[in-house]
Amino acid sequence: MKNYYTYIKITLVVLLLGFIVFDMRRDPISNAQIDTVEKAVVSVSDFKDASPSENRMVKRFYGLNPKDYEGAILYAPSDNMDAKELFLIKLTDVSQSDAVQDAIEERLDTQKKSFEGYGAEQTKLLKDHVLEVKGNYILYYVGGNTSKVRQAFLDSL
């Protein structure tokens, strides 16, 4: 009978440890303010001297309504021949992540098709893009210094 209780205790401890490990593998929800993350990312990006676009541009480029999220900041290309772009979004709920990632992938595919054949520099920037999902934050960046931008994003969370 003693062995029976010992096996039950061991089984429960193993299950508890398994649950803890599984839970820790998920990306944590960040309490960082989107303005703080924006400043950190923009400071090392190609948009240091730029201003964010209006919310209607998020709807136009991505088909997403910024009011559905805790925050959405877009630095759009300066003209039609420019591929540089920065999109930072703080999700209200992590269940929104797939829809946002799909919208970003669709935008990326559209941009690649637009510059295919004549925009070699823009095409390279698009191929070297950053799409980083960390908990309730998503960063999409096309431009120079991609590794610094990615690291600034991760450090600011």
5-59 pLDDT tens trace: 888 888 888 888 877 777 666 667 889 999 999 999 999 999 998 999 999 999 9
Average pLDDT, the chain: 92
Please report, rounded to a whole number, the percentage of residues in the chain having pLDDT higher than 90: 73
Task: Report the phi/psi class of residue 30: left, alpha or beta, with left for phi > 0 and alpha for psi in -120 to 50.
Answer: beta
Q: In the prediction, which pLDDT does 10 show?
A: 85
For residue 4, is it within any domain?
no
Cα separation, 132 vs 119, in Å, equals: 25
For residue 116, is it within any domain?
yes
Say what the pTM is. Answer: 0.83
Which range of residues forms the domain containing residue 131?
Answer: 29-156
Q: In the prediction, which pLDDT does 35 show?
A: 96
For residue 24, is it within any domain?
no
For residue 3, is it within any domain?
no
For residue 20, is it within any domain?
no
For residue 15, is it within any domain?
no
For residue 103, is it within any domain?
yes
For residue 84, is it within any domain?
yes
